[in-house]
Structure 1
């Protein structure tokens, strides 16, 4: 980090007093991700993986039965429900009586999931955030506008927010007045370097406002926009970049683990994988075989730093397509959302959710919100929240769906005044009520 302002100096002084933990993590992350495939990086990654595997088999009841495992691939893939049903079995005995941190998520289905993290894991997550923010042109002391739902902070977190120059903005009710208030706040802010961070659905509401209202964004001067927690469609990404004259970048992370992948200013259309903090796999939907390059599969991760509650080959429930770039480094070409939101054509074949998103691009100017639901083997429901009273393209939209899903598809269009978000504040655009 090259930032020399007062906030940055105080931040790193505090870290130095506490043992220089964040700085050490940040240096290791930078070393590994600068070139994940060189000898130094591979040695660090292998050591971190071997250390967590040995720790897991020696200190947790669940993994103790795999003490003779020769590699990570000898461990089973585990899912959320298995962990929750056998919660104490996954806890590391030496850490049970230590100070741990409870992290939880409601998940896209609304089913609660939580686990514990130790202090080292918390520090690693913070360092991951700082590293990827830096690759989105943010340094400590720059202005970060964090648009989020249900903002609650302790005194310590408020201090760290001040040091990092973070403006926390509640977006629980994002109407036109609130959007104007946010845009005015960002525009009038005198910091030279500014970044916005928030949900895709929140930014979609901002786009909706800008599409239908006159607002001068000429002097808003953002370094970048980071979209987290939800799928960022190509259309939303493109439109955000156009309106704000900066790159809109997607972050793939979760409360229970941290940042697994991130688009950056030097990787705007693909996701840099966080090889420094996770061992990442993409597996088949039907079995635990690895998919081939260019195929869609389940994202499965091994957390290299949570010693309080090791997660070995943890199925995140999300799906992605991976590729290998010109430098020989594995990256995510696309992250498609959750496996629970996979959809099938009338022949039972999996279709990419991207196919659904594309069907609505031509109608964005007519819609406030939309949702695509598979209700049965051949039954599909389209839920529309319109800007105006009528939608004159029912036949075209239904036929477009049949072209990809099957001519025998039964497609119903339903009109509503609001598509409510989940308790987390997120909105699901694609839902499968047929295969869950």
Structure 2
């Protein structure tokens, strides 16, 4: 559409008037992500790491003792609690009086966590967003549907939404009527290229509705749908893709850090890592050594551009399976979600959350929501919120299916509930470990 092209041109013209900062960052991101092993990319990455370590060790109290350490491996792996407990010590003395930006997340546990970012970091994040959107077929100026829990603190005003061509669709109560409202909204939208961005759990509810009503939607102009904030299970990826006739891609990011990895149209199953803006490690669960391809490990990220509060070797609390891309670069085959919600069979062996999700696929037509909780060494609770008017006649079959992976001595309790409430962020935890963490 002509208006969308004007929006795109206006954005880059404005950036040019400001010195082309976003454009330069974007070119740097593109080079570093697409050719991470090239001599130029390695040179730039090495320079960025060296500059960050020098800055952190000379301007922040927390890293002061590492002033003579010139390699990342010599720095400690830190967790969210370390930052929270030493918040002031992470602030750079050079940026304390600068105009910084507060970024926050409620976190998967509902515990607030926030950081400050300097202007340069915000600009880099902007370029990251543009690049990874482009890899999902979205261009600046095109229609973007954002499926979120919209409240006063995060909602754009109407003018800004129109200028950016964004539709903010609230998913707080995603009933069948609300889903139908969303479908009709997209069907009546005359714009020919649309992209969706939303919580994976909202996509799952929409997929269930489309499948239940066998609504095959054609010619909607949906280029892709990006799932963020939560684990995108195979059922949702396949089913929603089928009924919307588009690619469903998963993005791994956080408000306090930025986009770390994303599936793309060229890599729809493996996650392409943001090698340019971050140094990403996948470390063993029990010690700080890299895992091998095909193994699961802890995602540890060094933010190369936040100078207001340098974050080095930050354990995100999530786990992934290490893979290699076609150019030999590190990638993620799977991202499992939060490490603290790893679950175990009755013998103490780690069970992938993917195994849990597969137990419920055949019952989706009966369920609104479900939740799997490990309450003890051998005790597991399954919460089911049934579709209106349905009864669940498959208790024993479900219990036996769970035991086939969790052990014959596993104790399974089925609990029926009217609602499984989301966290303050709007996310829903499908798998919870109340017994122990790794």
TM-score (norm 2): 0.95
1:354 aligns with 2:351: no
1:80 and 1:315 in contact (8 A); partners too = yes
Range with greater deviation from structure 2 (136-145 or 177-186): 177-186
Instruction: Supply the distance in 2 between the matched residues of 1:322 and 1:53 (Cα, whole angstroms).
Output: 26
Structure 1 range deviating more: 140-149 or 262-271:
140-149
1:42: which partner in 2?
A: 42
TM-superposed CA distance for 1:17, in Å, is 2.1
How many residues matched? Answer: 434
Q: Distance in 2 between matches of 1:425 and 1:374?
A: 22
1: CA distance, partners of 2:209 / 2:117: 40
1:263 aligns with 2:273: no
Equivalent residues of 1:140, 1:165 under 8 A apart:
no
Asked whether the equivalents of residues 210 and 216 of structure 2 are also in contact (C-alpha less than 8 Å), the reply is: no
| Between 323-332 and 194-203, the greater mean CA deviation after superposition | 323-332
Gaps of 5+ in 2: none
Q: Tell me, yes or no, if the aligned pair for 1:140 and 1:163 is still in contact at 8 Å.
A: no
Match of 1:391 in 2: 392
2:110 corresponds in structure 1 to 110
User: Hey, what's the Cα distance between the residues in 1 that align with 2:425 and 2:164?
Assistant: 25
State whether structure 2 residue 175 is matched by structure 1 residue 175: yes
Helix, strand or coil: the match of 1:94? coil
Report which stretch shifted further, 82-91 or 12-21. 12-21
**What is the CA–CA distance in structure 2 between the aligned matches of 1:399 and 1:288, rounded to whole Å?**
38
CA distance in 1 between partners of 2:211 and 2:241 (Å): 14
Residue 32 of structure 2: aligned partner: 32
1:435 aligned residue = 436
For 1:304, the equivalent position in structure 2 comes to: 304
Q: Partners of 1:301 and 1:88 in 2: how far apart?
A: 20
- CA distance in 2: counterparts of 1:385 and 1:290, whole angstroms: 41
d(CA) in 2 for partners of 1:159, 1:40? 42
Structure 2: distance between partners of 1:401 and 1:325: 34
Relative to 1, partners in 2 of residues 1:414 and 1:235: Cα closer, same or farther, differing over 3 Å? same
Deviations 1:233-278 (CA, angstroms, capped at 9, x unpaired): 0111000110011100000000110100000000000100000111
Measured in 1, the distance between the counterparts of 2:357 and 2:214 equals 27
CA contact (8 A) 1:200 1:230 kept: yes
- 1:137-152 → structure 2 map (5 Å cutoff): 137-152=137-152
Report the equivalent of 1:6.
6
Secondary structure of the residue aligned to 1:226 is strand
Q: Considering only aligned residues, what root-mean-square deviation do their CA atoms show, in Å?
A: 1.7
Deviates more, 1:212-221 or 1:43-52: 212-221
Who is 1:71 aligned against?
71
Q: Aligned runs of 1:207-356 on 2, under 5 Å?
A: 207-213=207-213, 215=215, 217-356=217-356
Corresponding residue number in structure 2 for 1:423 = 424
CA distance in 1, matches of 2:333, 2:426: 26
Superposed CA offset, 1:127-184 (max 9, x none): 1111011011111111111111124478998666444322122221222222222222
Alignment check: 8 A CA contact 1:69 1:75 kept? yes
Equivalent residues of 1:174, 1:205 under 8 A apart = yes
